[in-house]
Amino acid sequence: MEQQNVHTHTFDNGLTLIVEQMKDVQSAAFSFMVPAGCIYDPENGNGTAAMLADWITRGAGDLSSRELFTTLDNLGLQRGESAGSNHITFSGAAVADQLSEALRIYGDIVLRPTLPEDQFEAVQAGAEQALLAIEDEPQRQVMVELRRRTFRAPWGRSSDGRLEDLPNITPGSVKAHYDAHFRPNGAILGIAGNVDIDETVRLIGDVFGGWESKPATEVTPGDCGPKRDFVEFDSAQTHIGIAYDSVAFDDPDYYTAWAATSVLSGGMSARLFTEVRERRGLCYSIYASQASMKHEGRVLCYAGTSNERAQETLDVTLQELKKLGDGIEESELARCKARAKSSLVMQQESSRGRSSSLARNWFLLGRVRTLEEVRDRIDALTVDDVLNFVRQHPARDFTILTVGPKPLTVND
């Protein structure tokens, strides 16, 4: 399957490879999404995928943990591993002529990990430290917990896990997660950079073609958390999280929804910053973001303020969210478009950014959105488009979570 300079190939075992050739760069990068994310964590074992993402790189094939890290460092590979909702993702970028060797090593990581038990205690300690850091940062905590309350289980789970679940996660349960969920069917590998497409297809076939497919695990949607909740935290600040319905990533109105959210929170000239922070001086931090998944989407908002001004901050923020449909200036939309175009230019010059977009687009859309398509969609947006969308999808039916010394009253 061809799309301009993007080539897609699906191997017999179900692995999908998407390659974009970027002849004007000297780098190459990959983003490898394996369908083993936290939605597959066992009940009372949230954090299993996150621990596997760490443990799996601590020895593979004939290489010990130290040997593996040294080999990848010697290639100059800038790399990362992380667990998300649906996938564990491996990513890396290097000078283009080093990519083949890096991908062969990742063949061992993905297919032949040693998962050494003498490393598990360190993995467990790292997971605990990450979760304790979230507890020490209420701004992060409120957004993690807001997602749990606004998205259906298990998609609302934190990819980092939960402290109370850590004692239930054992080397055996993490190995069982690997055995059950690491499979080529449903895995997506995006590669972008100064690469030869035919050689890349042959390489991936050689490294991953023998990976045996296995049945996918069915995920049953559960319920969301409570619409109104409060977490007591002894502090001089109150942290407010607000969520409301938006559209999924594959919705025809996705870019219109993105523009509406950008008017609210697209830099220091946006509505929430100017009205709630600058003009009224109610809070020290406020923003909104578009959180669109494969089948559903939300707008997620955060405000951090003093305890004395928390109630007014909540009231005014809700008011600003509801007022968006009253009118939008041409200048507001123009600023959103300018920011988006700057981001597209930077992505066009980044092999790592493109490899990530290739894999993510394929998962969410079943195809690749080119940068030109995205630019055209953004250019075509009008104020009327955005206003019509906001009026058809008004800010209402809020999920609201507050973290602080005392609860707030919601008047919506």
Q: What is the pLDDT of residue 306?
A: 97
C-alpha distances out from residue 309 to 93, 197, 236, 241, 271, Å: 46, 58, 11, 15, 19
Q: Is residue 218 part of a domain?
A: no
Q: Is residue 214 part of a domain?
A: no
41: nearest Cα among 180, 230, 197: 180
Q: What is the pLDDT of residue 2?
A: 45
Structure tokens given for 221? 């949607």
The one-letter amino acid code at 73 reads: D
With beta carbons less than 8 A apart as the criterion, state whether 366 and 116 touch.
no
Q: What is the pLDDT of residue 267?
A: 82
CA–chain centroid gap for 160, Å, is 12
The one-letter amino acid code at 388 reads: N
| 232 in the same domain as 156 | no
Query: Rounded distance, CA 31 to CA 354, Å?
Result: 9
| 137 in the same domain as 283 | no
Question: Which residue in the block uniquely carries the two structure tokens 């993105």?
Answer: 258
Q: What is the pLDDT of residue 345?
A: 76
CA–chain centroid gap for 41, Å, is 17
Query: Rounded distance, CA 208 to CA 190, Å?
Result: 14
Q: What is the pLDDT of residue 1?
A: 41
The one-letter amino acid code at 340 reads: A
Please report, in tens digits, the pLDDT of each residue of the chain (412 residues total).
445 589 999 999 999 999 999 999 999 999 999 999 999 999 999 999 999 999 999 999 999 999 999 999 999 999 999 999 999 999 999 999 999 999 999 999 999 999 999 999 999 999 999 999 998 898 999 999 999 999 999 999 999 999 999 999 999 999 999 999 999 999 999 999 999 999 999 999 999 999 999 999 999 999 998 999 999 999 999 999 999 999 999 999 999 999 999 999 988 889 999 999 999 999 999 999 999 999 999 999 999 999 999 999 999 999 999 999 999 999 999 999 998 988 877 777 789 999 999 999 999 999 998 888 999 999 999 999 999 999 999 999 999 999 999 999 998 6
Last residue of a domain, one of 208, 242, 269: 208
Question: Which residue in the block uniquely carries the two structure tokens 């928390």?
Answer: 310
∠ Cα 102 104 105 (to 5°) = 65
Last residue of a domain, one of 152, 175, 208: 208
235: nearest Cα among 130, 135, 131: 135
| 243 in the same domain as 359 | yes
Q: Is the peptide bond before 154 cis (omega within 30 degrees of 0)?
A: yes
Q: What is the pLDDT of residue 103?
A: 98
The alpha carbons of the chain give a radius of gyration, in whole angstroms, of: 22
Q: Is residue 261 part of a domain?
A: yes
Q: What is the pLDDT of residue 190?
A: 98
| 375 in the same domain as 284 | yes
For the chain, how many structural domains are there in total? 2
Q: What is the pLDDT of residue 371?
A: 86
- Supply the range of the domain harboring residue 17: 2-208
Buried-exposed string 309-341: b where 16+ CB fall within 10 A, e elsewhere: bbbebbbbbbebbbebbeebeeebbebbbebbe
Q: Is residue 188 part of a domain?
A: yes
Q: Is residue 221 part of a domain?
A: no
Q: What is the pLDDT of residue 45?
A: 98
| 32 in the same domain as 145 | yes
| 46 in the same domain as 192 | yes
